[in-house]
Structure formats: structure tokens, C-alpha cells
Structure 1
Amino acid sequence: MNEINKNANLLPNITLSSIFAQNANNERGTSYGTMDLLFLRHGSPINYMCGKSFKLMAIIGGLTPHNSKQMPHILNIYKMPQVCLSAYMYRCAFLTYKLYLEALGDCTGEEKLRNLPGTEFEMGMSGQSYSIYNAVYAVAHALHAMISSRSKKKAMGDGATRNLLNIHPWQLHSFLKYVRFNNSAGEEIFFDKNGELAAGYDIINTITFTTQSIHKNHVGGINPQAPKGKQFTINRSATVWNHKFNQILPKSTCVESCHPGHSRIMQQGEQICCYDCPQCSEGTISKLMDADHCNKCPEDQHPNKKQDHCIPKHIIYLSYGEPLGIILASFALFVSLVTLVVMWTFIQHQNTPIVKANNWNITCTLLTSLLFCFLCSFLFTEQPGKVTCLLRQTVFGIIFSLAISCILAKTIIVVLAFMATKPGNKMRKWVGKRLAVSVIILCTLIQTGICVLWLATSPPFPEFDKYSKRDQMILQCNEGSVLMFYTVLGYLGLLAIISFTVAFFARKLPDTFNEAKLITFSMLVFCSVWLSFIPTYLSTKGKYMVAVEIFSILASSTGLLACIFLPKFYIIVLRPELNTRDQLVRKKNCGT
């Protein structure tokens, strides 16, 4: 105020003075102090302004949160400007700290600093006194602007002083909003559109030497008027810390930074520096500190455990290197060897009655087709490729059609042979090798045509299933057309049902060794396996789906081999005394 009063150009012929009220620490005391400033100090009762011993133009304060928030309730009634905090808010907070800088929402920097553990601070012209200093100058310049405005409108010489007696505090607001001046430190002082002081902050590093001398080093600052991104500057290398300082540097945030694997979410209703750090959701990562959001990994990658990096997904398929693949491959080899042994035994005994009685050509074709059925299961193991995907289902469908066609041909031959033995029956001309070959070729060609149509229209192809497993990619064969796949299975089922039906009705015919009964039972096993295959196949994924199909192929083929050939193999190897023409004739006679 001494500076202002000595300045003949700022407020000529006007003297500023100050009144101090007690700084209350509660809401009631704040209200009493405010009323005291407004009325009692004037010698007038509360709410009456009868006489005035001085002109009250503005109030600077308060310096605690309670004061700041309670004073406007009273001051707003009389439109009294409150420079620091009020409904008509003009904030003049200049606060510079040694350890860190925090933009405060009120004029309570000193109190907040005292509550921070281990924080040193200095007042002087860098704390509240500097804020009050600029607040007084702001009011003085607002008064100067008001007087100048009136002087221009009414040039009355010393009348400007007399006009001051007619000035009311609320009239200062329009001038405080646009006040702009340079203080004694050369800083430009003005309020922005939010009523906050637009001046910047200096960051001073105070160094105390062993000789107790002090050196203040300017290491940075904050300039709200600077371009975005350059408003805050600090020279870390120029900052000197006490050698005894061993604490972690304080953070200018409410919480620690969000680490990689987490995202930053602002807390509703809190300052921008207050946020939560939730873990990234499943399938997403964040690589940076304080990431605003988490990102999804590429389809062929998945997050690591910390969710801060994407790693390639492991490619899986049914292989010989895992227990399941080893078990299925070993079983396929075993039944293939059994089939070869049976085939070799039948070849060695092809001139015996039991082999001749069961049509050697069809028997040999059936055994060969069963051997290929077992071997085709190897197409389903190991890494799927373009060729293997094309061959898997088509080879399986054609070979199985050949095997069941052979069984159907054997059954038809049995029925026709019995009917041909009846007197006057014309079926005798149909009994022979040509009929059996025709049935086998026709039934196999139909399935071959279905497979060729499948490959021509929508063939199977290898693909990656990237979504069934979080950390794995399943390499599998896409069947192309699901309709064609189930058409192949449906045709096999149709042949099996026809064979089962014909064999069931021929089971009591006097066939040699009652082969119709064996065929009936073998078809029952075959149909049971593939009926259970469909729901199991649809309920599994990846390599287990392939394992289900391999198991069904091996189980159904083994059922045919066991039901049709093992009883005969048993007689040929272990009961050769039953493999004689007399035994066959005796059986036929007993049957008739």
C-alpha cells in the first residue's frame, strides 16, 4: 500500500488503508468476522449503513478453506468483491515450493504445505504475502480504471476525487475482470475468463551451503499463456538436492502411476490427477505407463501373464508326439497287423471248405478294404495340410463304402443262394460273381460321385481356429461344405442299415457257419459307433474332434473285423478239425 500511495500516477489524491479482522478457524467465527468488517467497524448496527468513517471497497481473504467458502454467503448479498475466493472469484495464489509444485484450488497453500510430511517451503514474496501483494495492486488498478473511465466521461479536474465518494464496491467487478498491469517484479498481472490470475509460476531451487549462505537457483516455471505442451518447464539437471535426502520424490498425483498391464480411468468428481488403475480386461494389454486404454492383441497373439506384451499363440493339432496321438496310432498299427495276419491265414487256407464257402473274392476285397480303413486313420494325425485335408474325408468315405458294399454283397448272395435252391425258382441265374461285383462297384461309385462333387464345389481346406482357446491356435481342416460331409456319413449309414436289414431277415437261413448272424451283429456294432459319433463330434473342438473321428473309424472297422472274421479265424487256426467238408454237409443237413 505504501508503494501504491506513493505512486502519483496510480491513485492521485487517494490514500489506501487496510483493516484486519481475526482469522477465524470455524464457520461461525468467519461469519462474525465478515459482518464485523461490513458494519461494526463503521460504527453502525448490523445490516444498516448509517454513517461511514471510511470507504470499504474490497476484501482480501480468506486464507483458510472455511473462511474462503463461508465469506461469499454474506459478501454476495452486498456484491462486495472478494479477491482470493468468493462467488465473484479473483484468485491471486502465487505459491512456489522447493520440492514440487501443485496448482491449488484455494488460497491455502501454506496450510497444505505444513501438512505434507518432509516438505520444506518458503514464504517471502513467493507465498501468501505475494498473493496479497498482487491482490492489493489488482484492486488499486481497478479503482484507477474506474476513475479514469469517469474522468473521460466528465472532465471535472479534482472532481474525480469527489466521484470516489459515490463509488460502490460492486461497481469494481466490471473493472476487476479486465484489469491488466505489470507489478514491480515486471510480471504482467490479469485475470482470465475463469477469474483466475493468468500469471505464471517460477520454480526456485534454494541451496543452503555449510557457511549458512543461501543461493536461489531458477530451475523452471509454469506459464499458462505458453503454447500447449510448453506451459510447464523444469531443468532437472540444474536442481540440487540435499545429500541427506533419501526419500522417494513426491508425486504430483493422488495415486502412483498406472503400470503396464493396467489402464488409467479418471475418478468421477475428482481432480484430473486422481484416477484408478484397473487391470486390463482379458485379451487386452497396455505397454506404456499411465495408458488411457488397453489394446487388443492381434488374432495370432495373446497377452502374457502381466498383460503388458503380446506373445504368439501356440499352434496345436493332434500329433504323434502326444499321448493321445501315440495311443491312437499304436492301436491303428495293431489292428492293421491283425488284419494282415487274418488275410495271410485266409490266403494260406483259401482251398479249405470254410474259405470257399464264404466267397473268397468278396472276402479278400473286404479284408483289403478293412486294412485301408485302419490305415486311413493316419491321414487325420499330424499337421493338416492342403492335400491331407482333401484326402481325409473323401478317402475315408470311399473305403468304408467299399467295405460295407462287400458285406451287403455277401448278404445278398446268401439270400439269393437259398432262394435258388427252391424248385422252379428263377433266382438261380442271378447267383454268381457278376452280381456281387456289380453291387460292390455300384455302391462304391455312388459314394465316389458324392466325394467328387464335394471336392468340385466346396472342398475342405486347412485353417486356424484363433478364438476357441485364449493362448492357442488350433490348426484344423475346415470341411468346406458341412452338408456334403454329412451326406457322405448319411450314405454310409444307409448302406449299413440296408445290410443290417437284409442280414437280420437272413439270420435263420441254413448258411454255412451262419454268416448272416455274424453280419447282423457286425452291422449293429457299426451303426452304434457312428450314431454315437455325431453328438460327440459336434460337442468337441480342435484335436479332440479329430480324435473322436479316428476312434470311430478304428472302432467300427475293428467291429467288422472281429464279428465277421475272428470266428472263422478261430476255426482255421485253433479248430482245424471243424474245417472239413463233412462238417459243412452235417451243418447243412441239420439246418434243413
Structure 2
Amino acid sequence: AKITTLLSDNNTYEALKRDPTSSYKKKVIACLQGLERDKTINRLTYHHLYPGNAIPCIYGLPMIHKEGIPLRPIVSSINSVTYNIAKDLATILAPLVGNTPHHIKNSTDFTDKVQKLTLDPDETMLSFDVSYFATCACLSDKQQYPTFFRTIPSDQFQADALAKLVKHFGWTWIGVVRSDTDYGNYGVASFLNAAQKVGICVEYSESFLRTDSQSKIQRVADVIRRSTALIVVTFIDSGDLIVLLDELALEPPPPRQWIMSDRWVADPYLMTYSFCEGAIGFAIQQSIIPGLKEFLLDLSPTEVASSSVLTEFWEDAFNCSLNKRTKTDKQLCDGTEDLKTLKNSYTDTTQLRITAMVHKAVYAIAHAIHNAVCWEAVVSTKCEKHLRSDSNQIFEKLQNVNFSRNTYSVSFDANGDSLAFYELVNWQKRESGVIELVTVGYYDASLPKGQEFHVNNNISWLKGSTQVPVSVCSESCRPGTRKVLQKGKPICCYDCIPCPEGEISNTTDSPDCFPCPSESWPNAQRDACFPKPVEFLSYDEVLAIILAAFSVSGACLAIITAAIFFHHRTTPIVRANNSELSFLLLFSLTLCFLCSLTFIGAPSDWSCMLRHTAFGVTFVLCISCVLGKTVVVLMAFKATLPGSNVMKWFGPPQQKMTV
């Protein structure tokens, strides 16, 4: 009853929807078959490691010293799927446990060792770390970690590099998956900050651990399956990712472009997942350590026999036995075995990444100690072999370490971080079906801003495609439309609205439309303005000919009338009519008739300015003359009294002034 009550605690235990045992068993068998095929294990070892059929069971051990006597749950995995493998590994590791004086048995042993430490009165204990694997950006905080250094780049640099990678390929709609650890949480926080600055939107950001409940892993997998983002950026450990990929493999999602972090980018086991083909990401720079290969190959059977680990490696590599007493079907090693003939991960020292970081860390400390006990003399460098260096002095020298070795340089900035250099690598499938790691670019944080990232075009994307995948929330708005953000969604999600009548937009993703200049019209697509068509009265049109004929005829009649008036200018009727005002009237009429001609023909700047001005002036002059004459006639009829002097105010001079 107690064990049933214990398992009913939903906060601690959760019932699986399906039994994964058969799936795990198939994977273990496939792995063993691969090891046997590669001759890493023989047939006998294969059968020895073959998974059992027993189902693990749980039972409770009563804790009688506690109130209520609760149960301590214990799971028995005897003869289960992984039992034989675990048992064999324990046998291999057993000789190594406790065989070195530099190990801690338990917390009591640790306390005893610390208590035995003694310091002289003039000594100060100072510890400092030069890490080769800790990448969390939080460790750059000198207030919390004042004595921390590292030869591996901080995740802050990797986050910036990933943001530049995503921006470079035009991906603005992505998903993010991370381990729920300092590595994942701090790394993603730095990445999201960098991504926001360059206009990248995140559809989802999920975190989990391999120890989380199956339902949580399923939920993360379902989020990836249902998402519209094609790009999945990861800040995740290999162990966590394997659990997620196993869940995704049960119901493979639509093709996804995986962006890898340095923790799993070079993991050979993960390359067996076919739907990760085309993944791209940043890896720690690989280096060649001078002398390492020669050191590894300089092993004799006598040296190997003194180490159980090397003995097992030697016997597996050459399929022979070093110990005559060992009961095995292998033949006895005869001493002619040569490590130089091997081609495996042991002899391949060309792709060392984390190992190179260890090499850097050791040499950084060595240089700091060297600089503390040595000085430059006139001719050569001198060192004091028996000089007792102060820890603070070594710490100070470590801060100022700066040296180059082989293909890399080592130095630390004010935060204790080393120079960041990443290789951009791509998982490319060969004709044999094997996925290989191919370097396709790099990121060098020491270069000027804008020049850190370099990539070539030899990238294999999803399913071996050479076309860069597209991942956007909304397609770009073409010219002739404007962007309108979708309510409640990131800025990368928007609708494209056509420009209103009379307005255009001539750029992609334009936020606004604008009207055309007054002399232009928008085209049908509303993405450009074109000049308004010029319409005018041509001389060869019928209306223009009629207008010109009337205009010339009217002008001729006015001129003929003026000529007749001039001929009879001395006659009483002409003189009584104020000949000067009459000539001015006829002149203005002539100009009025001729002004019509300025409205015929293609318009120009001068004709447009002249036509209205000339007609207005001449017409007003004509009306003024008529008005002047009318006033004189009107006053002549009103001035009927004899001796009235009214008309003297309307003589020729006064009429001219009136006009």
C-alpha cells in the first residue's frame, strides 16, 4: 500500500503513455552490432553485453528512524536492457578506483585533507582556476569570480556569433531550445538579447533536462512539430538533446534546420539521426598539439601491460592478448604490433578541440610561473630555480599572459576570457550515407566590427539542398503595399495592405505609402509615379484651325477699322469720338483676338505664363476703354443745362486718365 501511495505522487512520478523498453533495446542491439562490425568488440563480448529481457522493478526500504516509517524507493534493474553493459563498465573501472593518492573518497576524507594543510605566517592561500570547458557567460563576472580564467571562449561570444549567423541568412522567425542549466539559460539569454538587436523574432523558447518527466519532453517535441519556424537554435547538452531527438524520432517533424551550439556540434553519435542532416553551428577551433601524436604512438607492450586501460585498448586494437593467463580465444601478442598502422580516434590527432583547450590552460599556467621566476638579462633569460613565488605574483602574471604557440594564441581580457575563434561547421551527408563534419566558415571576435563572420557557399542544407531555407513569419511586402503589424504578435508578423488610391510605396516592406508629386500619377501597381500626360490643342486639329481663323479674322477686322479711323481722323465724327481712346480700344481688341493663338500648340514655361497674363491685361484695357466711352456718353446726356461746365471734366485728357 505504501509503495502505491508513493507512486501516486504526481509531482514526483508520472505514468508513461507507452513502454519505451523495446525501443531502447533495439537501439542497444544496433549499437552492439555496429561495434562488432567495426571490430571494436568480438562475438563473445557481443553476447556478454546483449541486453536482457527483465523489466526493472521498484520496491521500498522502510526508514524506521523517521516518523511514519516512510519508504526509500529502490529500483532493481537486474537483467534489464542496460544491466549487462553497466556491469561490464563497472568491471573495467574498478581497478582505477582508489589507486591514486589524488582522489577524495568521501566528504570526511576531504575534510581531513584540508585540515592537514599548514601555512607559514607570511603565506596567503590563493586559488585560481584556468578552465578549459566552462563556457557560461556568468563566469565573466569578476565580482563573483575574481580568480577565474578560461581558455575556451565565453558563451557570450557564441551567442553573438549565432545571432550574426541567423541574420546573415535572412532568418527572422526562429525557435529556441535549451538545457535548463546555467549553460542553456545564460547562453539563450545572451542570444535573445543579440537577436533582438538585429530584428530576429522568436516563436518559442523551450527548456528541459534529460531527467524531466516524459510528458514534458513530449510537450517540447510537440512544440517543435507544430511550429511554423523552420529554424531551431539550440543551446543544449548532448545528453539532453539525445532524449529530445529520440522523442522526435517516434513521430518525425517537418524538415527543420538545426543551428548547433558547441556542446553537440561534433558529437558523432548525434550524427546518426538522419533528420539532423544539414545542421550548422559553431565549434571550438580544432588544433594540432605538437608532439602529441608521437607521444601516443611511442608505446611498447611492456608499458601497456602496466595499465589495465591501455591493456584493454591494445588487445582490442590488435585482437591479441598480452596476458598468457587470460582465458580468451585471442592469440598471444608477439611484439610486432605497431600503433602507427592503426587508423582510429586514438591515432587521429588532427581534430582536437577540447583537448587543445586543456593544452592551452596548462601552457598558460606554465607561462605565468615562468614569468614569475624568470627575467630578461642582457644576453639571455635567467631563472631562479629555488625562488619561492607568491601566489599573488603568479596570479598577476597569469592576468598578463600573452603568447602564441603553433596555430593559436593565448591571452586573457579583463574578465579572464580568452580570444574567441569558432569554426562554422556543417553536417554533410556523403554518398555512403555517413554524415561528416565539414568546416564552411569561421567567426573571429578579434577582427573589426562587421568583419568577424565569414562563410563560404559550400553548405549542404536540409535533405542535401544547396538552396538556403527560408524562415519568416510573414513574406516581405512587395512595392505597392505597406506593412501593418498583426495585433498581439512580434514585429516580424504583419499583413501587407495595398496603398490607397493616389499613393505609392516603392520599397520592399515599406511601413507607409506616400502621394506622388503634383505633376505625376501613380501607376496601376502603385509602386511608381509617372508624369501626367500633357494634353494641348494642336495646330492641325479642326478646333484649333477654327479658333485660329476667328482670331486672325477678328484681329484683321480690328486693324482695318483702325485704318479707316486713321484715314478719317480729321472728320468731326472721329474727333468727337476721342480718336486716341478709339485707337487704344482697337489696339486692345486686336491683342485680345491674338491672345487666343497662345492657347494653341504645346505648352512651355513662357507660353503658360504669357497666355493668361497677356489676355488679362489686354481684356482689362479693352473694357476700360469701353467703360470710359460709356461714361462720357452718359454724362453728355445728363449735362442738358445751358452753361453747365460738367463736360469739361470729361474731356480727352480726363478720359485717358480714367482708362
TM-score, normalized by the shorter chain, greater than 0.5: no
Greater fraction of residues in helix? 1
> Could you say which structure has the larger radius of gyration?
1
Greater share of strand: 2
**Larger RCO: 1 or 2 (CA < 8 Å, sep 6+):** 2
Give the TM-score, by structure 2 length.
0.36
Give me the TM-score of the superposition, normalised by structure 1: 0.40
